[in-house]
Amino acid sequence: MGLHICAVVQRGSGSPREYVEVVNDGAEPVTVTGLELTDCPGQHHEHVYTFPQGELEPGETAYIYSASGSNQRTRTGDLILYAGLQASVWQDDSHVAFLRHPDGQIIDTMHAGRPPRHPDGHS
């Protein structure tokens, strides 16, 4: 499947902070440098997160939290990233997360609150 959004976890959904899971289910590493996570498909958007330099190996996940924090890589290779926003983005089921290239080409989308695409893990 390659790089895709696995889940959009809203605040109050069993987590202290909302986040989006982006997974590499492909067979090759994927560079995520400069990719964007936003709540709008067009160029005029209020909330946009631009990925820092890095890549996801096959089976690795990037967890992008809306809140502030320090970016890190876990022992298993997953990325923990923080958008540094002051307010929630994924407030209700009508909100959509868009993973896209900087030129606006959409890689994947997912509505907030939908069940994860891989409830039993990403493998």
Here the CATH number for the domain that contains residue 77 is 2.60.40.1260
11 falls within a domain: yes
Q: Each residue of 94-117: pLDDT tens digit?
A: 889 999 998 889 999 999 878 777
13 falls within a domain: yes
Structural domain total, the chain: 1
Residue type, 46: E
Q: Are 114 and 96 in contact (CB under 8 A)?
A: no
pLDDT of 8 over the 80 cut: yes
Give exposure, 3-20, as e/b (b: 16+ Cβ within 10 Å): bbbbbbbbbeeeeeebbb
The pLDDT, as a whole number, for residue 5 is: 95
Q: How confident is the model at residue 16 (pLDDT cuts 50, 70, 90)?
A: low
- The stretch 2-14 carries a mean pLDDT of 81
Give the domain extent around 46. 3-111
116 falls within a domain: no
20 falls within a domain: yes
- The stretch 4-16 carries a mean pLDDT of 75
46 falls within a domain: yes
Q: Dig out the tokens for 35 from the structure.
A: 């990719």
Give exposure, 22-37, as e/b (b: 16+ Cβ within 10 Å): bbbbeeeebebeebbb
Q: Which residue is associated with the tokens 């909100």?
A: 95
pLDDT of 123 over the 50 cut: no
Q: Are 29 and 79 in contact (CB under 8 A)?
A: no
The pLDDT, as a whole number, for residue 52 is: 95
Q: Dig out the tokens for 48 from the structure.
A: 């946009």
122 falls within a domain: no
107 falls within a domain: yes
Q: Each residue of 26-85: pLDDT tens digit?
A: 999 999 999 999 987 766 666 789 999 999 999 999 999 988 899 999 999 999 999 988
| 3-state class (DSSP) for residue 108 | strand
